[in-house]
Chain A
Amino acid sequence: MRHIISLLMENEAGALSRVAGLFSARGYNIESLTVAPTEDATLSRMTIVTSGSDAVIEQINKQLNKLVDVVSVMDLSEGEHIERELMLLKLRAEGEAREELKRLTDIFRGRILDVSDHTYTIELTGSRVKLDSFIDAIGRDLILETVRTGASGIGRGNRILKL
């Protein structure tokens, strides 16, 4: 099963490699991993999308908690949560296709960030599924470049991951 795990860790050199190293050393899957400092500059927030049996996910949670640099861990997928990913796409946009691409972008509530004679650069945020369906709708032939951040997640309502 796919899980989205959120964690707070010390914003220190090497902390990221401890997490990444844990996943590779123990053979856990990583679908995506995002990390950046929080409003408290001493802390980083990381979102990891992984998959595995219940037993594997339990071990992942325990092993992450065991890392000395990790302050707290939450398996967002255990409850109500919001998941967003940012995607930047560079598309071949020529002739009639330009209109159609703009229309699709509007439908998906994306934004055109940059325009050249032959290209559009588009920004889109949403769930993984939404981004995937946008790609499907455009068709792979027109895609020149794809940049995805991987999912960031946050709990709904009172589910708060704090120090």
Chain B
Amino acid sequence: MEMTGAEITIRCLQEEGVEYLFGYPGGAVLHIYDALFQQDKVKHILVRHEQAAVHAADGYARSSDKVGVALVTSGPGLTNAVTGIATAYLDSIPMVVISGQVPTFAIGEDAFQEVDAVGITRPCVKHNFLVKDVKDIASTIKKAFYLAKSGRPGPVLVDIPKDVSGQKTEFVYPASVNIRSYHPQGRGDSAQIRHAAQLMLEAKRPMIYAGGGVVLSDSSAQLTDLVRLLGFPCTNTLMGLGGFPANDKQFVGMLGMHGTYEANMAMQHCDVLVAIGARFDDRVIGNVEHFAQVPRKIIHIDIDPSSIAKRVKVDVPIVGDLKLVLTELLEVLRASRQKPDAAEMAAWWKQVDEWRVTGGGLRYKNSSEIIKPQFVIETLHKLTGGDAFVTSDVGQHQMWAAQYYKFNHPRRWINSGGLGTMGFGLPAAMGVQLKHPGETVACVTGEGSIQMNIQELSTCKQYHLPIKVLSLNNGYLGMVRQWQEFFHGNRFSESYMDALPDFVKVAEAYGHIGMRIDKPADVEPAMKEAFSRKNDLVFMDFRTDSTENVFPMVPGGKGLSEVVLAEDL
């Protein structure tokens, strides 16, 4: 049967099992919206800004193992989506974004709402397509889903001109895809895996450094088995949190700029470092020169060869899918008669535990007068049993959420690490809540970040999304203020948020419940009340200490051992 390009587009989404399509209509996608209207398999979620559509699709993908899908119109619809696409790109999130384009005959004429979508998004997508022939829509969408999900995941854009979505052709959905220039690695090299196993067994001061790749490849079980089998200390990056259970005694906390003292010291002093789906980000290892000063053997497992040896030299590179590589590594280790040297391991753990004491762990001075942001997160953890989905925005509140909400499961901690996009938290929470209707979804945000996509409270109303928003309102762009305090002589240039709205009224205006909490004693009761309202979105405006800083902190450009601990100041 002949179908229009628009109908084909929607049929493809059905074939891919897409539940939700996050989008916003406009001229160039009218055919597609018309096709959407005439079916009920793919549910469309109408956001209030295209950036939010992409973040919602992103949150949906991060909290599941599915591809997030968004639909935007040409021109401003596409440009609004770019921040969301770049956010997904930097954190390797599988996503397909469909954008409308002006008709093929108008392309290049500066037509109404024309932008070069493929050109603008090229640096922040895994791949993109401009579909010029209706016959190519089905195969292109098939490829887009395949590319988004396979190998190192990432966003893929499919740009469809309006005339193409209006034309008709026979619908055939390809059963499989073959892209001759694209062959993501599956299994790792067995010889390298055995070499890695040997190094690990002979290590005296081993360290496991696991990142977002563990979450993306759903390999937490394998990672956990590996760490427990060997008895090594394990740290997670910001993106890897939940990949290894935080309540395990072998967990030394997050590493990096705001990581624990013990994690960073163990990173610096280990003799064998096993990097698993982590990419030696500058916020993680600080200054590369300092990092390289301490000799050690590095084993690096990643599906993307370009992640390996990008910033640090690697001794044993293993390119492959983590799940397969870790499974094989476990087999080799289990089959080996050798075990890690018990005496060496005991000595190493003694050292790590000493660092735990010297570093003083994560701590802050609670107060009965003023709400400490860390206390809010601890209370959130307590009341949700550590089992909530927690999305966050970007800033100090994000770091406190990462530090104090102890994630025991993967895909529960949803934040923008690579791009650090303020405005991510609330729309991402919408995607998470849609994917997990009965679950508790908390959005930890700041009074700065929330205002970057606050209009989504309206979307939450329309679709009855009972998200719990915890705004740690310190009256400052706190993370900026912190840097200005430390590195710019307390000159708080434009980091004070003046003229803040009454957030309770804002929440109410959108039809939700708003709460303002000023006293530490009210934190727990308020939160209990909020969480008991299973069907309501509750916006909690916590007035927190505006001078609180995030510790520990490794200043930018410094080595991991040059950490500033809470008590130093």
Interface residues of A (CB under 8 A from B): 9-10, 13-14, 17-18, 21, 25, 55, 58-59, 62-63, 65-66, 68-72, 163
123-146 of chain B: CB within 8 A of chain A? 123, 126-127, 130
How far, in angstroms, from A87 to B179 measured CA to CA in the complex?
37
Whether, in the assembled complex, B489 has its beta carbon less than 8 Å from a beta carbon of chain A, the answer is no
Q: Is the CB of A59 within 8 A of B306?
A: yes
Q: Is the CB of B130 within 8 A of A14?
A: yes
Q: How many residues of B contact A (CB 8 A)?
A: 17
A residues less than 8 Å from B118 (CB atoms) = 14
B residues less than 8 Å from A65 (CB atoms) = 305-306
Whether, in the assembled complex, B521 has its beta carbon less than 8 Å from a beta carbon of chain A, the answer is no
Whether, in the assembled complex, B181 has its beta carbon less than 8 Å from a beta carbon of chain A, the answer is yes
Extra 9 A-B pairs, beta carbons < 8 Å, given A21-B123, A66-B304, A68-B182: A55-B309, A58-B309, A59-B310, A62-B305, A62-B306, A66-B306, A68-B126, A68-B179, A71-B181
A residues less than 8 Å from B309 (CB atoms) = 55, 58
Most chain-A Cβ atoms within 10 A of its Cβ — which of B122, B179, B306, B309?
B306
Q: Is the CB of A70 within 8 A of B304?
A: no
B residues less than 8 Å from A62 (CB atoms) = 305-306
Q: Is the CB of A17 within 8 A of B122?
A: yes
How far, in angstroms, from A70 to B180 measured CA to CA in the complex?
9
Task: From the candidates A58, A68, A71, name the one contacting B147 in the complex (CB within 8 A).
Answer: A68
Whether, in the assembled complex, B385 has its beta carbon less than 8 Å from a beta carbon of chain A, the answer is no
Task: From the candidates A18, A63, A66, name the one contacting B122 in the complex (CB within 8 A).
Answer: A18
B residues less than 8 Å from A14 (CB atoms) = 118, 122, 130
B132, closest chain A residue (CB): A13
Closest beta carbon of chain B to A142's beta carbon, Å: 42
Whether, in the assembled complex, B501 has its beta carbon less than 8 Å from a beta carbon of chain A, the answer is no
How far, in angstroms, from A4 to B257 measured CA to CA in the complex?
39
The 3 closest A-B pairs by CB, nearest first: A62-B306, A71-B181, A68-B127
Whether, in the assembled complex, B119 has its beta carbon less than 8 Å from a beta carbon of chain A, the answer is yes
91-132 of chain B: CB within 8 A of chain A? 118-119, 122-123, 126-127, 130
Q: Is the CB of B147 within 8 A of A17?
A: no
How far, in angstroms, from A17 to B116 measured CA to CA in the complex?
13
A residues less than 8 Å from B304 (CB atoms) = 66
B residues less than 8 Å from A9 (CB atoms) = 181
Chain B window 152-195, contacts with chain A (Cβ cutoff 8 Å), 1 for yes, 0 for no: 00000000000000000000000000011110000000000000
How far, in angstroms, from A21 to B310 measured CA to CA in the complex?
19
How far, in angstroms, from A9 to B127 measured CA to CA in the complex?
14
How far, in angstroms, from A25 to B122 measured CA to CA in the complex?
10
How far, in angstroms, from A62 to B185 measured CA to CA in the complex?
13
Closest beta carbon of chain B to A56's beta carbon, Å: 10
Question: Given contacts A58-B309, A62-B305, A63-B306, is CB(A21)–CB(B181) below 8 Å?
Answer: no
Closest beta carbon of chain B to A127's beta carbon, Å: 30
A14, closest chain B residue (CB): B118
How far, in angstroms, from A137 to B118 measured CA to CA in the complex?
47
How far, in angstroms, from A68 to B143 measured CA to CA in the complex?
11
A residues less than 8 Å from B119 (CB atoms) = 17
How far, in angstroms, from A163 to B180 measured CA to CA in the complex?
8
Q: Is the CB of A70 within 8 A of B122?
A: no
How far, in angstroms, from A58 to B310 measured CA to CA in the complex?
9
Closest beta carbon of chain B to A150's beta carbon, Å: 23
